[in-house]
Structure 1
Amino acid sequence: MNNQKEQLCNIILPKNQPILDRCLPLSFRQCLQQNLDKQLAILEQKVADEIALNSTYHCQYTHQQQRYQKLKAIKPGDLDQVFAYLNGQAIIPKIDLGKNQSIFVDHNDLLLLALYQESLQNLPECNLWHLLRAYYLERSELITQHLATLFENELLICQADLRQVATILSQITGDHQVVSWIANAFLSYFTLPMLQRYIVGRENKVWPFFAENLQFIDQALGLTNDTKGFKVANALAIVSLFPEVPAKYISHLLALALGTNQNLRVQAQLILNKIENIHLEVEKALIASKQEIRIIAINWLALLGATSSVERLYQVLAVEKKALVQATILSALNQLGQDISYYLSHEYLLQDAQKGLLAKKPISIEWLDPNILPNLFWQNGDSVAVEILYWWIVSAVKLKQPMGNALIDLYLGLLDAKSQKNIGQFILQMFIQQDIKTISDLTDEYQSTVIEAKGVLALIKYIDAYQAVQIVRPYLKQYTSRRSEICAILEALATIYHPEIIQLLLSISAGYSSNIVRKKAANLLGQIADNRACSVQELSERMVPTANLNSNGEIILNYGDRIFKALLDETLQLIVKNVDGKTIKSLPAANKNDNEEYVKACKKLLTNSKKALKLVIDNQTQRLYSMMCITEQWSYTDWHHYLYQHPIMNRLIQRLVWLEMDQNGQLIHAFRPTEEGAFINIDDQEITLNTNHQLQLAHGIHLPEHAISSWLIHFEDYKIKPLFNQFAHPKPNISHQVENKIADYFGQNIAVMTLKNRLHSRGYQPITDWDRIEGYSKSFPKLAIQACITISNYYRQMSTANETVKLYHLYFKQRIGLIDKIMHIENVPPIILAECYGDYQSLITV
């Protein structure tokens, strides 16, 4: 221990405050009996259903029957033992509460006593002693190999100092190696994103434990022979919490900070940035023998903003022989505020390119003939020498960074706008064409090195987003096995902040055939969202495609000699108008004065726009409905920018009633946007919105009956079909709910086909256990809430057209950490409750 204190230098550990053991109230003994009785009652019904299921399908299921017998065998004396044990007044009772996993616990937490429906956790007297005793009795695997789950899901444990958890667990279990369990949870079982979520706001609850047990960090960082399988990234995340970097780790962190693993490199650099004058250590790497290390050190100095390193960078630039390192130094100097215009002049760039091209070019780029490169122009209109462009390509390939870098961005910024788009389109097309050539067209050597040229994709940053998506989509569809190449293309596209790119990444992350590609798209979306200081959900809401409609809600279709326009009609369909403003059925064929290539492009554009429009309307209708359910609010600025000014969203929001709410949550106006750009209330009076107020969608629970009736008449008078019914479902009476479940239609029969059709149309998905359907659920991801409608089960493969099932409950679950917990019915957001009750009710409504 003394040795560890020496290793911590001057770090002062927070005091480890002990948690006092105390007794639970006697009333909780009665609660244990009530929990048992409730579960027996529920299981009686499940046993009856299981017996009926066995009879119908000639099965031999006994799962529910075994669970019922286990619970029925528990006697009052057993509950007395449990109560005494929870209070620390008895040893652990010898009661089998279902630790055999085959007949253990289902998603409703049956076969639990103290933990049933969080009855223990809800007691004011409950503390960490009682909670950990209960888990050790009822779900002991969560105290050992799955301890990470408790850290994710139990508030009392999350709020505790890890040292407190270790002390109490040691005394409860009698095992003094529990520090290893805790270390395993944080360094092995947690993924890095989970660990990072856990740490936020709990920094001082975590690092002192590891400061007192540095051997686990040593193992994770590979400073001992046994790493225990710990994750280096997790260890770095924990070390980053220390107020000072332990001296013993500095040299190892420097090696990681200059190493080839990009993720670990970033983590290590962030930790070392805390050290005063760390730039002096980084400058030592500027003369490293390996070019890669020199480049990493240069980029690190740029990130540090160390202006005191400028002189040293100029000194290194004067003697550096590698063109790639020279270019990186220039980029760093530019980031540090130095004037590098001389190095960006046409004369210098040409000289630099000619010198660089004397060296051997990468074999991975030999397929690209410099003679076919497009003609590009500087911003002053002068032509770009082909040697300069080809040297940029070679440099980008060597850098191997599809997402680009400051230097390539600097070079591209020298071109005029059209050239920026042209080079992007050319590079993307050539990369894909080269990748999809057949083996018979290419040698194995070329075929295997295409991915080695991925750095060239850094040059597509300014490509037209619509063109990029049109080029990439067929490739994604046909060549799903080209995972590495696809991921490289997605990395490059992710640098383009445009709705079409965001939606492409969203669609890939949600349903692409390759898990690797899906994860890559999801990670890229996360990075984009982080850079924009928003969530991925918010990002998807802001980046709605326009289906090629401009800010005026039109698509200009230029035939060369003639110009047509496509725009939305009152049914939200794209119609075409000629130069005289007359509606025509479709785009005409080219005449002798038209440009045939333009005509072909216009027809393709219109076809693609119609497909995109349908997707946008379907997706955004569902999104707006979901936002009504969760009472999502927009600031006036966001609402005006992302909805009102969007050419498609503007038409959708005209078909809905909106509410203006003040800072105190009071209703100011109910209104509807009109096609003319006004905001009108129910009396057809134009109103002015306060830019400091919030806007949200109206629902029947917000407005009195007469206002609802008036709005329905309003839509009829204006001959407007609402986007969806906002006033169909009032808030239900929940006073007769049992166990936080609504059972108003419990036991009523419903045809399986009716059940599926009605719930699928309302966005529900089946709750399955292999082939067995146990019910249907609908998710509200932003609140991590899931509405569940349960039934008496049917088998997908064996069900018949005339089969009926019994309707059971409506209840709601909310994900907390890794576990879905049944919500208290009064805590369910009122609109979600009203709408889902309406779905439940619709199943018995003719």
Structure 2
Amino acid sequence: MPYTEEATQPIIERLKRRYFQHANETTIVSIQLFLTGRQATAPSLLTTDELAMAGALIPLLQLPDQWNDNDRLVLQLLSEPQVWEKNEHDFLKHMVPMLDMPGSSSSIVQRFSNFTQFLQQQGYSPEKIGSMLILYSNYGDNMDLMPLKFSPLRKFLQDLLRSTDQLTIQPYLQRWYQHNWNSLFFRLLSRSHPDHEMNYLEAKLLQQLPGYLHSELANTLLQHNYSKYEPLLLQIATAAANAGSVAVRLGVHLALTNFQPETYQANLLPLFRQYLEDFTSQPPAEEGTATTLLHAADRRSYPLSVIALHGLLQQDPAAGTAYVETFIRDKRMIQEECFDLLGQQPQQQILPILLNALENGYDIKLLLPVLDQYDPAAFADQLWPYTLHKLKSVRMAVATLLARDPQAYNKAAELLQHKKAEQRLAATLILCSINTPAARTLIQEALHNEINDDARDMMLETLGNTIQYTADMETVHYLIASAASRHKLSRPLEKWLDDQSLPLLWTTDGTQLPLEATRFLLYRMSRIKEMGADVEARPLLRLLDKTRNDEFAVALFNLYEQHEGDTRLKYLLATAALTGHKQLATALQDNIADWIKHRRPRQAEHGLAALALQAGSKSLQIVEYYANKYVTRKVALGTAARTALTRAAEELGLTLHELGDKAVPDLDFDGRYKPFDMKGDTWKGFVDLNFRIAYLNRKNRRPKTPPVAAAPETKRFFKSLQKQLPDMAIAQTKRLEQFLVNQRSWTATQWLELFLQNPLMFVFANRLIWAVYDEAGQLTTTFRCTEESRLHSVSGTEIQLPEYATVRLLHPLQLDETSLQQWRQHLTVNNVIPAFNQLDRNTALLTPAQHFQTQINDFEDIVMEQEALILHLQDKGWTPAINEEGKLYAFTKTDDIQQVTATVDVLSIYHETGIQCKLGNLYFTEILQESASLSSPQPVAADRLLPFLKVAPIFWAEAIADIASARMNTTLV
């Protein structure tokens, strides 16, 4: 039965978007007619675009053991010689990893039979089939030498290579001698033809770059089995000596020294000298690299010349210094540690070398730590010209050093009069580093007199938090007068802006400010680059009464809307958010939903940022709602919501988690209770331990039935609130469970305010176990809060939180089994049901053998329907990563306390009934300041993978348990 039109429609739509030329429309229609059985003959595909269209159909293919008439239609299109030549790579890249899906024995046999039969029809020999399966399996592009853990694909390959004899193995060797190192081929070869193992290794050790040793492979072999592979490396070193190859000998001895320094380190000094002599006299066009453990903190690879230079400086500083001069003259790479070693030499000898390096364009950041050791009077005159350097990074770097020059104040004051803003900016940074009363006064005068707004913005940006304006009227009047003296307030900011029609601003002391204050606020806010408060507007903003400035804020919002959300006018929205109250918040909430509905994403993003800046509980809840809603669709909007929360936290001087605490609903209660009138008596509503509304009468007794004589509006309030409570409880439960995983801390004051005063969070204080840590981060005690707001240890002793203490959720890995059992018994005796599974979590323990591992591949047997997998892992705090074509390729989970991200790779496989996902490797990386977008999957560099020893034990254990728990939902394919 042919494909249904619905099954092909998504791919056909992508073809239309990608190949939108009118000439391609006929071909696209013909492809769909053929796939759906309405056209008997396959379309003829000839042009480059048409050949690529066939490749776009590859994702429709199922596992080979499930190939049916539909799949054969796609295979028929791909089989044409021109089409196959164009799409062979994409076909293998997509299909080969799928072959490793679990299944029954008969289905796996049928799978490889169908697949190899198809490749044979394309002219593949048995050797090419095996080699392509190895190449595209994604298992060999690493240094893994551990015994093979068999899977369907690896078992097939093992049997295939074992069936070869000494003659038929030769085509494999010929191909893989030419290819880069492949650990899967090596392990298959060593098991099926061990007599060829050493020859293959020797070829690979010397192949990466002609004339150099493959350092990473050499280190891996020695680490895996030193006694087995040491003779091979010594044999290579002997042959290299006979051939006069110093580079190979140096690479061999560096690798051997990493593991046996007492035996081999003495051989390095003459090799360092000889290598540098050859390198200086005839520098190679391309140089090999090596990983050295000579300085254990750094496991990166460096060019051999840099390693030799570093080693020579350590063992023969005088000779090493001479080579440094040569390197600097030729502008060659020098390792940072080399400059550190230079700093240990006499100043009169080294200072000219450092200044020459600066003149030759070496990174100033490498040189400054060394120059910083010396008296700047000896070289300041040579550094001052760099304040005129074209690169801002250089100007900023030398400024901090020049601040130590005895003449720094006078020279900076002179530079402050320079005609170029960049130089005035460098002078400002020098004065900021001097940080004397006179220097600060000079900075203030410069800002006061600087007419160029771009220059002032650069100064303010550079000074950052070093200028702290006091939020009082004296400061505000000073800033307004300064702006007026620069002629910034003489007319409205925009020609179309009638600022006299705007309501005047009110301060918290009941003062109404003049028009000049409005103009100043709009002028300074117009300078913002991102949604937030301008540094000079902030003192005024902090004095304003938001409850009385709603009309002003709404008027600005209406102006923004009248100009259809012009991006240049986003400052109007930011100003409105920072001055307005409930009326503006309502307008923002309503309009954001409308902007999203009518596809006005830029306005929606700005609206979310404004709502976050308001920082009210309900406003933050709305932004959080969009941040969580738009993860796999409308990704840009979800990202904008998360960014808005981050910037709002920065604006308020809070962490993102502290901002989240502000977003916790207070339910419009007065602390933990909601007082209301009941026939002249005051009753109180509260949230009980089951997240249900309960009541206390005037005698503080809890009646069995709800009050029937309360006012109708009171009844409606509590009835509406009861409907919302379950969702609120679920949201906070998920949040707190993530805090358990990443071990977020509260100060004692923060914890008492949030968990004992908020009606919702008080329930969690009762139903969870908490841990107290001292100033050194050591666990001191554990406790639970009672319904009387008392904090009790497991023994029942009441405790007080020390002022210096921090509080975290207790994780079972932090206590021994005896203590855990005591808490379990305590909860049982007191009829306390934990808010979530806290003490009996399935967690994995890191073994010593795993300390230096960087990946886990034990989850390849987990296969689930995509929707089920997303729901399962999202529930545990994982975020799906989707590429530009909407295909799931990974899940990530972040520990933003330790700045680590866990990632598990995913292989998505299309079926007529849906998409199934097979899990791949799990690994951990540090969070980068400039992280790549989730929409573009990129291979993670090996040096970014964290050894498990460097991952927080709780986060590591929870990540492993999260993924392993998916096995209960696994289905065989």
TM range (shorter): 0.5 to 0.7
Partner amino acid, structure 1, of 2:840: A
Question: TM-score, with normalisation over the residues of structure 1?
Answer: 0.58
Of 128, 145, 154, the residue aligned with 1:47 is 154
CA-to-aligned-CA distance 1:717-746 (integer Å, 9 cap, x gap): 655431221232477688898997999999
* Secondary structure of the structure 2 residue equivalent to 1:367: coil
Aligned twin of 2:967: 843
Q: Give 1:222-371 correspondences, 5 Å limit.
A: 235=364, 239=368, 242-243=371-372, 244=376, 247-254=381-388, 269-270=399-400, 272-284=402-414, 305-308=435-438, 356=487, 361-362=492-493, 365-371=494-500
CA distance, structure 2, for counterparts of residue 336 and residue 758 of structure 1: 48
- Does the aligned pair in 2 maintain the 1:120–1:131 contact within 8 Å? no
Matched position secondary structure for 2:784: strand
2:20 maps to none
Percent identical pairs in the alignment equals: 13
Distance in 2, Cα, partners of 1:798 & 1:285: 69
Task: Letter of the 2:410 partner, please give it.
Answer: L
Distance 2:593 2:530 in 1: 24
Q: Distance in 1 between matches of 2:958 and 2:686?
A: 37
1-structure distance, mates of 2:394, 2:484: 34
Q: Aligned in 2, Cα 1:718/1:801: closer, same or farther, shift over 3 Å? A: farther
Partner of 1:436: 564
- In structure 2, which of residues 890, 911, 933 is the aligned counterpart of residue 798 of structure 1? 911
1:99 CA displacement:
5.0
2:909 is matched by which residue type in structure 1?
A: R
Alpha carbons of structure 1 residues 402 and 663: separation in structure 2 relative to 1, 3 Å: closer
> Match for residue 625 of structure 1?
740
- Residue of 763, 783, 791 corresponding to 1:651: 763
Letter of the 2:495 partner, please give it. Answer: E
Matched residue, 1:28: none
Give deviations 1:638-659, integer Å, cap 9, x for gaps.
5445655555443323221224
In the alignment, structure 2 segments of 5+ residues that lack a partner are 1-141, 161-175, 177-181, 227-254, 276-284, 314-322, 345-349, 929-940
Check conservation: 2:893, 2:902, Cα contact below 8 A.
Answer: yes
Q: How far has the Cα of 1:451 moved from its partner? A: 0.9
Q: 2:297 aligns with which of 137, 142, 155?
A: 155
CA distance in 2, matches of 1:796, 1:586: 59
Could you tell me how far apart the structure 1 residues matched to 2:858 and 2:300 are? 40
1:497 is displaced (CA, Å) by: 11
Matched, 1:376 2:505: yes
How far apart are the structure 2 equivalents of 1:820 and 1:783?
15
Which residue number in structure 1 is paired with residue 786 of structure 2? 674
**Alpha-carbon distance change, 676 to 435 in structure 1, aligned in 2, over 3 angstroms:** farther
With over 3 angstroms needed to count, the CA separation of the structure-2 counterparts of 1:370 and 1:678, relative to structure 1, is same
What is the DSSP-based 3-state SS (H/G/I as helix, E as strand, rest coil) of the residue aligned with 1:671?
strand
> Once the two structures are superposed, what CA deviation does each residue of 1:662-703 show, in whole Å capped at 9, x if it has no partner?
789987654311232112344655444455555443344555
What SS is found at the alignment partner of 1:723?
coil
Q: Where in structure 2 are the equivalents of 1:500-515 lying within 5 Å? A: 504=623
| 1:542-691 pair list within 5 angstroms | 545-546=664-665, 552-553=671-672, 568-572=687-691, 613=728, 616-627=731-742, 636-637=748-749, 639-641=751-753, 643-645=755-757, 648-660=760-772, 669-682=781-794, 686-691=798-803
The equivalent residue for 1:167 is: 309
- 2:454 and 2:148 map into 1 onto residues whose CA distance is 74
Query: Structure 1 CA distance, aligned partners of 2:507 and 2:864?
Result: 70
* Preserved contact between residue 576 and residue 587 of structure 1 (Cα < 8 Å): no
Aligned to 1:25: none
* Matching of residues 163-202 of structure 1 within 5 Å: 165=307, 167=309
Q: 1:160 to 1:514 in 2, by over 3 A?
A: same
Structure 1: stretches of 5+ with no match in the other structure: 1-34, 54-61, 83-92, 137-142, 187-198, 222-233, 438-446, 592-598
Matches within 5 A, 1:447-462: 451=568, 454=571, 457=574, 461=578
CA distance, structure 1, for counterparts of residue 422 and residue 952 of structure 2? 55
Contact 2:910-2:916 within 8 A present in 1 as well: no
Equivalents in 2 of 1:611, 1:435: separation in Å? 41
Equivalent residue number for residue 514 of structure 2: 385
Counterpart Cα distance in 2 of 1:508 and 1:419 = 30
2:298 maps to amino acid: L
Counterpart residue type for residue 722 of structure 1: P
- Contact 2:673 / 2:684 at 8 angstroms: preserved in 1? yes
Q: Deviations over 1:113-162 (max 9, x none)?
A: 246699989847399999999xx9xxxxxx989989999x9733579999
From the superposition, tell whether residues 300 and 468 of structure 1 become closer, same or farther in structure 2 (CA, over 3 Å): farther
Structure-2 residue corresponding to 1:125: 261
Deviation at 1:485, TM superposition (A): 10
Which amino acid in the other structure matches residue 95 of structure 1?
K
Cα distance change, pair 249–412 in 1 and its aligned pair in 2 (3 A): same
Q: Structure 1 pair 820/324, CA: closer, same or farther in 2 (3 Å)?
A: closer
Which residue identity does 1:626 align to in structure 2? V
Partner of 2:9: none
Partner of 2:91: none
Residue identity opposite 1:677 in structure 2: S
Computing the radius of gyration from Cα coordinates, the structure with the larger value is 2
Alignment of 1:829 onto 2:933: no
Please say which of residues 411-420 and 382-391 is displaced more in the overlay.
Answer: 411-420
Q: Which moved more, 1:381-390 or 1:576-585?
A: 576-585
Equivalent-residue separation in structure 2 for 1:764 and 1:740 (angstroms): 22
TM-score by structure 2 length? 0.52
Alpha-carbon shift at residue 374 of structure 1 (Å): 1.3
Q: Which residue of 1 is the match for residue 833 of structure 2?
A: 721
For residue 284 of structure 1, report the CA deviation from its aligned partner.
Answer: 3.6
| 1:475-486 matched pairs, under 5 angstroms | 477=596
Deviations 1:484-531 (A, max 9, x none): 996799599779799966995997699596779959976994896699
User: Structure 1 370/203 Cα, relative in aligned 2: closer, same or farther at 3 Å?
Assistant: farther
CA distance in 1, matches of 2:490, 2:810: 67
Mapped partners of 2:192, 2:266: distance in 1: 27
Question: Match of 1:366, SS?
Answer: coil
Residue pair 1:272, 1:278 contacting (<8 A) in 2 also: yes
Aligned equivalents of 1:336, 1:436: Cα separation in 2 = 36
Question: What is the one-letter code of the residue matched to 1:798?
Answer: H
Taking a change above 3 Å as real, the CA distance of residues 211 and 585 of structure 1, as seen in their structure-2 partners, is farther
- Give 1:698's aligned residue: 810
Task: In structure 2, give the amino acid aligned to 1:250.
Answer: W
- Per the alignment, in what secondary structure is the counterpart of residue 617 of structure 1? helix
Indicate which of 221, 225, 236 corresponds to 1:113. Answer: 221
The Cα shift of 1:250 comes to 2.4
* CA drift at 1:759: 5.4
Please tell me whether the aligned partners of residues 547 and 612 of structure 1 are also in contact (alpha carbons under 8 angstroms). Answer: no
What residue identity is the alignment partner of 1:843?
Answer: R
SS in 2 for 1:797: strand
Q: How many residues end up aligned between the 2 structures?
A: 714
Higher helix share: 2
Instruction: Give the 3-state SS of the residue equivalent to 2:835 in structure 1.
Output: coil
